[in-house]
Amino acid sequence: MCGIVGYVGSRRLVPVVLGGLKRLEYRGYDSAGIVFLQDGKLEKYRSEGKLQNLEKHMEDALSAPSHIGLGHTRWATHGAPTTANAHPHSDCTGELVVVHNGIIENYHSLRNELIEKGHTFASETDTEVLAHLIEEYLDDDLRAAVTKALTRVEGSYALGVLWTGMPDTLIAARNHSPLVLGIHEEEGGFMASDIPPLLPYTDQVIFLDDEELAVLKADSHTIYSLKTGKEVGKEVKTISWNAAMAEKGGYRHFMLKEIYEQPQAIIDTVSGRINPETGSVDLPEMNLSDDDLQNIDRIFLVACGTSWHAALVAKYWIERWAGIPVEVDIASEFRYRKLLINERVLTVAISQSGETADTLAGIRLAKDLGSKIVTICNVVGSTMTREAHGTVYTHAGPEIGVASTKAFTSQLAALFLFTLFLAERKGTMAQDQRLLLGKELIHLAKVIEEILPSLQEEIKELIEKFYDSRDFLFVGRGLNFPIALEGALKLKEISYIHAEGYASGELKHGPIALIDKDMPIVGLTPKDAVYQKSISNVEEIKARQGRLILIGTEGDGQLKTITDDILYLPEVHEELNPILYTIPAQLLAYEIAYRRGCDVDQPRNLAKSVTVE
Ligand code: AGP
């Protein structure tokens, strides 16, 4: 939801900020802008549409001798995605500029108040009130003016501010929207909404917390509490990701690269966490004592989108193997319902980014009600990991494609480990079973690695018959029902084909009415405990002339009697089928979207990290 980059230091400004915005474009891509200070004047460039429009517009500015400035890539909340609404936004003098990610909830009343005081507005955005509000309080101390202005603001912000009156200083501030500083002794200071823009320059970062403000200069950074005005000591963290991890590495799209990175992501998530001799699972960052665990009588899993699908799979695993009742909630629903949560409930937030606004709000509520909070998260130091009692990190590396792929399968791997961990501590799973399942998980990564290239080729051919369909259904049972939901989500978000996922047994209760000779239906039919039931369901579809694509177990001849369009997958332990069956669903969506000429990595209307409600 909007990406911010700021830099002050010895490098030329424009390439640093443009490069940084490219690495943040997944956060929003409907318009973009850059501002820099040169010869005491602010030079502002803004363009509608994708970043490449701004890039073209800035060709002559690439070598501008400027060393301080800000950039922004937008996902519109208030005001259409036009150049006038693109950030940076200025005050009335044009000498102060602001970039912002978040929502100023009381912007309407502030705007009216400022108009009455004589300010003139040039955009429809909520952000512009910030520029005028700071102007209102500004004499010669920018920090004091920003601090005062922010006491008037309700809502969320990550903010970058630059003023000609303090030409060596950037101000950064945060409340409920992510912002991280990058520090390099010789090259200066960086700010960004996420880590990738910092990776080419530094691995030393400081995560701002809510209600903090940073004064950033080329050779110093000082962080203050917005509440007390006092300086706060912050830990500088070292990031283990590197710049190459945020590049396409020869693949056509980030999404495809990330699909292919899944075997490694699973191995990295699992390694060092299962003892190969005893099958014992160690998750030390989770910070749960044996007493905490004995105390738990219910688990709430809270997440959004794809991460919610991971939660749905985990419910089957945890209830079956650890015997603990699990409730799964969409975070935007969870946060507004009556929560029957107390200190005997463990709340687990699942989030790739660790910044999703609804999930974050959910864990704050659960924490207030006495629940212990654990996150399953991919981004070290993200807000959720800082607010939770503990974390199980997925080690998927940066995920740039808007459609979540490797983050999902590594969430599943982490949740599987979490299940084994609970089962071990609760004594609900025999050691040999744990050892077997641990080994099977590692084996699965190898299986996926082996099948990926040929599966992609098969799918490329298969989709020729289906890519121009208007609708799609995905059906699965048991552990694979959430994968049907995930397959449908992947397809709709990147190809814009209307797609729905259903539990196979639900078809008869309504959706079967949709089936005719034009409707493609992807049926997940592995040889598992509910295989015969699934087959009966797809037979019912066949009887109504649905165009079935079955994904099933190698050697299963029965599938050939139902349809010609089959993708066979190797047999793995059936508990792990949800991870394996995700792979063809992702590739199907990817190939169809590519065949339809869609922008796979940056689908319309979406942004990777949803940091507003
Ligand atoms: C899925 O492809 C989407 N990117 C989206 O549903 C995503 O999973 C959701 O917004 C949650 O994000 P999070 O995991 O970062 O919290």
10-residue mean pLDDT profile of the chain (613 residues): values are 93 97 86 96 95 94 96 88 95 98 91 97 96 97 98 94 98 93 96 93 94 97 97 92 78 94 93 88 90 93 98 98 97 94 97 95 97 94 92 91 96 97 94 93 95 97 96 97 98 97 96 95 97 96 96 97 98 97 98 96 85 79
Is residue 408 a contact partner of residue 307, using CB atoms and an 8 Å limit? yes
Cα separation, 384 vs 367, whole angstroms: 12
Phi then psi for residue 189, to 5 deg, are -115, 145
Catalytic member of 2, 304, 377, 598: 2
Phi then psi for residue 260, to 5 deg, are -70, -20
Assess whether 406 carries a catalytic annotation.
no
Is residue 184 a contact partner of residue 204, using CB atoms and an 8 Å limit? yes
Assess whether 2 carries a catalytic annotation.
yes
Determine whether the shortest distance from the Cβ of 382 to ligand 1 is under 6 A.
Answer: no
Element (DSSP H or E) covering residue 143: helix 142-151
Element (DSSP H or E) covering residue 217: strand 212-217
Is residue 362 a contact partner of residue 388, using CB atoms and an 8 Å limit? no
Determine whether the shortest distance from the Cβ of 603 to ligand 1 is under 6 A.
Answer: no
Determine whether the shortest distance from the Cβ of 394 to ligand 1 is under 6 A.
Answer: no
Token pair listed for 321 = 């193997």
Site to substitute for ligand 1 among 358, 363, 404, most atoms within 8 A of C-beta: 404
268 HSE (CA, 13 A, CB side): 18
Is residue 392 a contact partner of residue 378, using CB atoms and an 8 Å limit? no
Determine whether the shortest distance from the Cβ of 331 to ligand 1 is under 6 A.
Answer: no
Cα separation, 35 vs 394, whole angstroms: 36
Q: What angle do CA 250, 251, 257 make, to 5 degrees?
A: 125
Is residue 148 a contact partner of residue 168, using CB atoms and an 8 Å limit? no
Is residue 238 a contact partner of residue 382, using CB atoms and an 8 Å limit? no
Using CB atoms within 10 A of its CB, is residue 233 exposed (0-12), middle (13-18) or buried (19+)?
exposed
Prediction pTM value? 0.82
pLDDT digits (tens, 9 = 90+) for 165-191: 999 999 999 998 889 999 999 999 999
Cα separation, 233 vs 210, whole angstroms: 14
424 three-state secondary structure: helix
Cα separation, 531 vs 521, whole angstroms: 17
Q: What number does the ligand 1 atom closest to the CA of 490 have?
A: 2
* CA of residue 607 to ligand 1 center, whole Å: 9
Token pair listed for 42 = 């602010």
pLDDT digits (tens, 9 = 90+) for 305-342: 999 999 999 999 999 999 999 999 999 999 999 999 99
Is residue 290 a contact partner of residue 372, using CB atoms and an 8 Å limit? no
Q: Give the bridge partners for 525, in sequence order.
A: 552
Q: How many other C-beta atoms lie within 10 A of the C-beta of residue 231?
A: 11
User: Which pLDDT score, from 0 to 100, does residue 80 have?
Assistant: 86
Determine whether the shortest distance from the Cβ of 304 to ligand 1 is under 6 A.
Answer: yes
Cα separation, 396 vs 398, whole angstroms: 7
Token pair listed for 564 = 């010609």
Cα separation, 576 vs 2, whole angstroms: 36
Which of 2, 48, 53, 6 has its CA nearest to residue 28? 2
* CA of residue 404 to ligand 1 center, whole Å: 6
